[in-house]
Amino acid sequence: MSEIRATTVLPARREPVTLHTDDGLDLVGELALPASRDPVATLVCLHPLPTYGGMMDSHILRKASYRLPALADLAVLRFNTRGTSSDRGRSQGEFGDGETERYDVAAAVSWATAAGLPRLWLVGWSFGTELALKWGADTAVEGAILLSPALHRAGDADLDAWAAAGKPLLVLVPELDDYLRPDEARQRFARVPQAELIAVDRAKHLWVGEPYVRIVLNEIVRRVNPAAAPLPTEWKD
C-alpha cells in the first residue's frame, strides 16, 4: 500500500477531447475514466479565472482527474474555456468575462451527453462557479458543486433559477475566503432551498494543501457517489 500524495496519479483511461461550441470554437480538454469499469457518474469541471492563471490543470481539478476515476468510479471531464491555455493546449477564442462562456458550458454538457456519460454534475471553482450558476441550471446536469463561490458575476437571478430548477447545489465555502465567507454565503444561498452549504475551517480560496484537497474531494464523492465515501488515503500498488 502506498500513501496517496499530492503528486499521486492513479490508474485511469485518459484521452484528449475537443469540444465544439455553437459559436464555432474548438476547446481542448481531457476525459478520465475508471480503468476497467464504467463510471457511475460524471464530473464536468469548470476552472478558475483564466486571467489569473485558472485552467483545466488548476490543482483541485487535476487531482480530481488523477484520483476519482480509480477511487470513486467517476468520469472526470476537464477542459479549457475559450482563450485559456494549459499543457493540453489553448482553446480557441478569447475570454468572455463569463458571458460567451455560456457556449463553453453547453458544449461540455452536450459532449458528455453524446458520449453516453452518466449522471452529469458540474464542478465549478471560483470563476467556474459563476459559469455553473449562470449557465448550468437549464442544462442536462443533475446538480452542481461549487468551490469558493464569489457571487461576483452570478447574482440573485441566477440563484433563483437554480431554486426554480430544483437541482441540488453543494457549496463549499472557505472560512478565510478572499471574496465570500461563510456568514455572507449563508445569507446569499438562502434563496436556494435545496443548497447545502459547508464552511471549511481555516481553508482559503485556492484550497492549498493536501488536507483541504482531501476535504474537497471527499465532499464531491459524498454527494455524487456516496458508496465510495470516505475516500481512502492509501492505494494498493
C-alpha separations of 204 from 80, 119, 126, 130, 172 in Å: 23, 29, 12, 18, 11
Q: Which helix (H) or strand (E) holds 217?
A: helix 210-224
pTM score above 0.95: yes
Looking at residue 42, the DSSP 8-state letter turns out to be E
For residue 4, the model assigns a pLDDT of 97
Find, among 219, 102, 127, 105, the residue nearest to 180 by Cα.
Answer: 127
Say how far apart CA 213 and CA 206 lie, in whole Å. Answer: 10
Question: Domain 2-235 belongs to what architecture?
Answer: 3-Layer(aba) Sandwich (3.40)
Say how far apart CA 31 and CA 70 lie, in whole Å. Answer: 13
| Calculated CA dihedral for residues 220, 43, 127, 157, nearest 10 degrees | -90
Q: Are 151 and 171 in contact (CB under 8 A)?
A: no
Phi and psi (nearest 5°) for 125? -125, 125
CA 40 from chain centre, in angstroms, equals 16
For residue 160, the model assigns a pLDDT of 98
**Residue pointed to by grid coordinates 483541485:** 60
Find, among 78, 30, 34, the residue nearest to 56 by Cα.
Answer: 78
Neighbours of 235 (CB within 10 A): 15
C-alpha cell at 196: 447545502
For residue 237, the model assigns a pLDDT of 77
pLDDT tens, the chain, 237 aa long: 999 999 999 999 999 999 999 999 999 999 999 999 999 999 999 999 999 999 999 999 999 999 999 999 999 999 999 999 999 999 999 999 999 999 999 999 999 999 999 999 999 999 999 999 999 998 999 999 999 999 999 999 999 999 999 999 999 999 999 999 999 999 999 999 999 999 999 999 999 999 999 999 999 999 999 999 999 999 987
Q: Are 24 and 101 in contact (CB under 8 A)?
A: no
